[in-house]
Amino acid sequence: MALGFVATRFSWTERPQTTAAVSFVAALAILDMGRGWMRNAALLGLSILWANLNGSVIVLPVFVLAWECGAWLEGRGFSWGAVALSLAGTFISPQLGSQYLDAAKWY
């Protein structure tokens, strides 16, 4: 029984706001990368991972859109691909559903 207790002691018990904060910081780091296929692949992967961890991923496409608008205002151009990939990754997740996106259940 002691070995069973030790084996089951280490499980994913983080609260959703912790995973959302870590995912948000990861999104900042990915968006700060130079544009290209690696950035797009990382953004798609992050959005799929975030969608499987927490329903707060619904803010990611809006955040990416705001980031790209800021880049456009600075004269660096606008990437519709990054916005589309973050939106697509959000809806690819098998976890996505009306109950999953219920804001009352995020915490």
Is 3 contained in some domain?
Answer: no
- The count of C-alpha atoms lying within 13 angstroms of the C-alpha of 106, restricted to the half-sphere facing its C-beta, is 17
| pLDDT of res. 88 | 83
The residue among 88, 86, 93, 40 whose CA lies nearest residue 66 is 86
Is 58 contained in some domain?
Answer: yes
| pLDDT of res. 22 | 84
Reported residue count of the chain is 107
* Weakly modelled stretches of the chain, pLDDT under 70: 1-17, 93-107
Query: In the numeric block, which tokens belong to residue 42?
Result: 């990382």
Is 74 contained in some domain?
Answer: yes
Distance CA 14, CA 86 (A): 24
Is 7 contained in some domain?
Answer: no
| pLDDT of res. 89 | 80
| pLDDT of res. 11 | 55
Is 82 contained in some domain?
Answer: yes
Q: Tens digit of pLDDT for each residue in 1-21? A: 666 666 655 555 556 667 788
Contact 43, 85 (CB under 8 A): yes
| pLDDT of res. 29 | 92
| pLDDT of res. 98 | 47
Is 81 contained in some domain?
Answer: yes
Q: Tens digit of pLDDT for each residue in 21-30? A: 888 889 999 9
Is 9 contained in some domain?
Answer: no
Residue 54: domain span: 14-105
Is 45 contained in some domain?
Answer: yes
Number of independent structural domains in the chain: 1
